[in-house]
Amino acid sequence: MTATNAGNHPGNIASFHLIRYADVAAMRYMALDRPVLRRTSGLLFWRLLGTGRGPSMTLGADLRRWALLAVWRRERDLEEFLLRSPVPARWRREAREHWQVRLAPLLSRGRWGGTDPFGPARAAAVPSCGPVAVLTRASIRPARLAAFYRSVAPVQEALRRQEGCLASVGVGEWPLARQATFSLWRDAAAVRAFAYRGAAHARVVGRVRAEGWYSEELFARFAPYASEGTWDGGDPLG
């Protein structure tokens, strides 16, 4: 397990799990895992997510790779889940590759399914050094789907070339319309460079606001710590 300094993180914590199976039969777990997660003690919010084939949101899906985003009342609840639940037991038994990280929420704006899963806005400053995790999520209006996906390619290319981006993955609840990106960054300065100085990203953000592409959106930042396993062959926080 790779540990990084997340500072103090009172209150809820989050975790992100990325699992790659040997074949597409793993799709069945999207249904089978739901009742187990509903009964999990201390699990305040969760989403089982499909993934795209690249580092950002795309029309293509990777049917062998799936993700879980979870919010926990206490770190002890996450520990119990990892130790005793049949879901992570199957990851260890069947997954071709599995990576997970614990996340201390720093900042959250917006809604996911009508709620902020990471709690009220926090006063904690984003660390000036050390890695940062970012989650962006949106429900795309049906009339804006074509415009959204036409805009993805240049942003994805910019993300791939952005200095300081350690890893990223496009994830989603529903095909096409409910999409998100989870990304890891060297530090907060690298996040700001992409968000505010990247021309492709800035153009898309401008159109999102002007044309009302989203019916709901959320942006959250975290201090990642205690990562474990591999993502595309290595630990991006290692």
Residues 89-115: tens digit of each pLDDT: 999 999 999 999 999 999 999 999 999
pLDDT for 83 equals: 97
126 exposed, middle or buried (CB, 10 Å; 0-12, 13-18, 19+)?
Answer: middle
pLDDT band with cut points at 50, 70 and 90 for residue 128:
low
**What CATH number is given for 13-229 in this structure?**
3.30.70.100
The average pLDDT across 216-234 equals 94
Mean pLDDT computed over every residue of the chain = 83
Q: Which residues contact 179 (CB under 8 A, 6 or more apart)?
A: 57, 137, 138, 140, 170, 171, 172
The average pLDDT across 157-161 equals 66
Higher pLDDT, 94 or 195: 94
21 exposed, middle or buried (CB, 10 Å; 0-12, 13-18, 19+)?
Answer: buried
The average pLDDT across 65-82 equals 96
pLDDT for 8 equals: 42
pLDDT for 123 equals: 45
In this predicted structure, the answer to whether residue 214 has a pLDDT above a threshold of 80 is no
pLDDT band with cut points at 50, 70 and 90 for residue 204:
low
Q: Where are the domains of the chain?
A: 13-229
Question: Which of the listed ranges 81-95, 107-121, 204-218 does the model predict with the highest average pLDDT?
Answer: 81-95
SS (H, E, C) 22-59: CCHHHHHHHHHHHHHHHCCCCEEEEEEEEEECCCCCCC
Q: Which residues contact 50 (CB under 8 A, 6 or more apart)?
A: 30, 61, 62, 63, 66, 67, 171, 172, 173, 175
DSSP per-residue codes, 6-19: -----S-EEEEEEE
Helices of type H across the chain: 29-38, 75-84, 86-94, 145-161, 188-197, 199-211
pTM of this prediction? 0.86
CB-CB contact of 120 with 10 (8 Å): no
Q: What percent of the chain has pLDDT over 70?
A: 72
